[in-house]
Amino acid sequence: EMQLVESGGGLVQAGGSLRLSCAASGETLDDYAMCWFRQAPGKEREGVSCISSSDGSTYYADSVKGRFTISRDNAKNMVYLQMNSLKAEDTAVYYCTAGPDGSSWRRLMGGYGMDYWGKGTLVTVSS
């Protein structure tokens, strides 16, 4: 069974940057698509970005496109989310997840069939 642990969250001013990391253990990431989700206070969880394992292709929510970059290092069993030009509305708990590689972006970004979830890291953006 895979364990996912997020880190890198914190308090940042609007316009600033943060890099989230997700460390996986227990299983290799090779067979999984990896995604980041977030949940803001009082709001529903939303998919932020996903990256496939087979070809490294990526997908982003419109709200973060051009500002966030997802990446992975299978050799290190790590996934990253570089967040630039942060806005107050990016404030949320961010979760790292692993799901079936080869699923559609729609299913992955919807959180359907995700196999593992981390406990999250809080990102707070002050305006």
**Whether pLDDT at 20 is above 90:** yes
Confidence of residue 33 (pLDDT cuts 50, 70, 90): very high
Closest by CA position to 123, among listed 7, 4, 2: 7
pLDDT digits (tens, 9 = 90+) for 69-93: 999 999 999 999 999 999 999 999 9
Confidence of residue 104 (pLDDT cuts 50, 70, 90): very high
pLDDT digits (tens, 9 = 90+) for 44-63: 999 999 999 999 999 999 99
**Whether pLDDT at 8 is above 90:** yes
